[in-house]
């Protein structure tokens, strides 16, 4: 029942968000696109760090690989950028397999540093790709995005310029990706595998004793999040339109912000990233006139959350409310009144 209400509210929010390109100004669409992409990255990182215990500081590797592959398929092979997005996600996932073989040999803090080093290797290697501008990068040809599948239809539907139609398209795709990921996470975390994962997080020895294989589950999560992160990276750079190794593999933009978003919202809770991304967006808007002050604020809030409220804003809220509007566990099967009567002597 509670889940149904939450689901209906979620659906209403999604419909409202889907109408933004129709009703709202273009600048809002662009802003919300960034927010949705950060949400996608945050959901992925939360799944990794909050549920699988894999504290990666190298997720920008998959953002950058997705983006670079999309650029390569579009510029070098003349494909539709949307096909490039899909290929970008697949290549990011393929790359995560050797990364996992390397990084899974390291535990805890070593894992964080290992993934970071891998991301830096990726940044420097893609900087050697002369056809895509080497270290200085390159821009996506304007025609490529304007001739993207569906842009014409959107143009006619909304009656806007081609550039605005591209913004609307990428926005809807980001919304779709975020919604699918949210639903996917919920279903996955309530599934047999997801419960196993949470059991491993809470007590690895007990989980293994009932037959859960931690390494397999963690590897699966690592691969899936690499796929979604790659998709999101490719989508981001369609909208940004320009790529360079430093921008595509930015530790600050694609991992540091994301970590703060998850920590502030509530690590290890499913709605945490949503709350966190709202706080992040609010802070950025509020302090936009003061340069990097919002980064200082973000860092201080992150530290305060870790000191005083480990489970973030959402975790704190649940504790206050006393009930969880979006429970990940399963309710115990309720007995019918007849069963209870039969049990009585």
Partner 1 sequence: MIWLDTLVQGMMLGGLYALFAAGLSLVFGIMRLVNLAHGDLIVLGAYLILGIGTATGLNPFVAAALALPLMFALGWVLQTALLNRVLGDDILPPLLVTFGLSVVIQNVLLQGYSADSRKLPVGAIESASMPVGPVTVGVMPLITFGSAILVILALNWLFYHTALGRAFRATSDDPVTAQLMGIRPRRIFAIATGIALVVATIAALYLGARANFDPSIGPARLLYAFEAVIIGGLGSLWGTLAGGMVIGVAQAFGAALNPEWQILAGHIAFVAVLLVRPRGLFPRAND
Binding site for partner 1 (CB under 8 A): 49, 55, 57, 102, 105-110, 112-114, 116-118, 120-121, 124-125, 127-128, 135, 251, 256, 259-260, 263, 267, 291-293, 295-296, 298-300, 302-303, 306-307, 310
d(CA 287, CA 301): 14
d(CA 69, CA 65): 6
d(CA 294, CA 288): 7
Residue 35 C-beta: closest distance to partner 1, Å: 20
Share in percent of the chain as helix, strand, coil (round to 5): 75, 0, 20
Nearer to partner 1, 131 or 187 (CB): 131
Nearer to partner 1, 34 or 123 (CB): 123
Integer angstrom CA distances of residue 276 from 128, 254, 293, 297: 36, 15, 18, 14
Torsion of CA 69, 75, 77, 79, to 10 degrees: 80
Query: Which is it for the CA torsion 216, 218, 223, 227, positive or negative?
Result: positive
Nearer to partner 1, 137 or 302 (CB): 302
Nearer to partner 1, 119 or 177 (CB): 119
d(CA 70, CA 72): 5
d(CA 345, CA 198): 39
Let me know: does 274 contact 39? Beta carbons within 8 Å: yes
Residue 319 C-beta: closest distance to partner 1, Å: 18
Nearer to partner 1, 104 or 281 (CB): 104
Nearer to partner 1, 50 or 271 (CB): 50
Residue 101 C-beta: closest distance to partner 1, Å: 9
For residue 11, count CB atoms less than 10 angstroms from its CB and return exposed for 0-12, middle for 13-18, buried for 19 or more. Answer: exposed
Question: 3-class DSSP state for residue 243?
Answer: strand
Residue 67 C-beta: closest distance to partner 1, Å: 20
Nearer to partner 1, 135 or 325 (CB): 135
Residue 8 C-beta: closest distance to partner 1, Å: 34
Residue 298 C-beta: closest distance to partner 1, Å: 7
Residue 112 C-beta: closest distance to partner 1, Å: 6
């Amino acid at each position: 029942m509670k889940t149904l209400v939450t689901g209906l509210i979620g659906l209403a929010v999604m419909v409202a968000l889907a109408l933004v390109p129709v009703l709202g100004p273009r600048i809002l669409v662009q802003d919300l696109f960034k927010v949705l992409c950060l949400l996608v990255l945050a959901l992925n990182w939360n799944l990794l760090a909050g549920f699988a215990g894999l504290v990666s500081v190298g997720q920008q590797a998959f953002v950058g690989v997705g983006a670079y592959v999309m650029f390569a398929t579009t510029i070098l092979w003349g494909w539709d950028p949307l096909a490039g997005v899909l290929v970008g996600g697949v290549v990011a996932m393929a790359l995560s397999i050797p990364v996992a073989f390397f990084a899974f040999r390291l535990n805890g803090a070593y894992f964080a540093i290992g993934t970071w080093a891998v991301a830096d290797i990726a940044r420097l290697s893609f900087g050697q790709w002369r056809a895509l501008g080497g270290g200085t990068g390159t821009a996506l040809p304007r025609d490529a995005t304007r001739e993207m599948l569906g842009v014409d239809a959107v143009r006619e539907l909304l009656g806007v310029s081609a550039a605005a139609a591209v913004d609307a398209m990428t926005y809807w795709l980001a919304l779709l990706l975020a919604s699918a990921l949210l639903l996917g996470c919920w279903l996955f975390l309530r599934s047999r595998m997801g419960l196993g994962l949470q059991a491993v997080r809470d007590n690895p020895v007990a989980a293994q004793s009932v037959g859960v294989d931690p390494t397999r589950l963690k590897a699966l999560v690592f691969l899936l999040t690499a796929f979604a992160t790659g998709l999101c990276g490719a989508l981001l750079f369609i909208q940004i339109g320009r790529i360079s190794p430093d921008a595509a593999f930015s530790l600050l933009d694609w991992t540091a912000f994301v970590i703060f978003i998850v920590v502030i919202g509530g690590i290890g809770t499913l709605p945490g990233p949503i709350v966190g991304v709202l706080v992040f967006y609010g802070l950025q808007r509020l302090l936009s006139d003061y340069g990097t002050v919002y980064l200082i604020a973000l860092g201080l809030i992150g530290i305060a959350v870790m000191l005083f409220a480990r489970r973030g804003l959402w975790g704190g809220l649940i504790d206050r409310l006393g009930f969880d509007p979006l429970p990940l566990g399963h309710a115990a099967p309720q007995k019918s009144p007849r069963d209870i009567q039969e049990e009585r002597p």
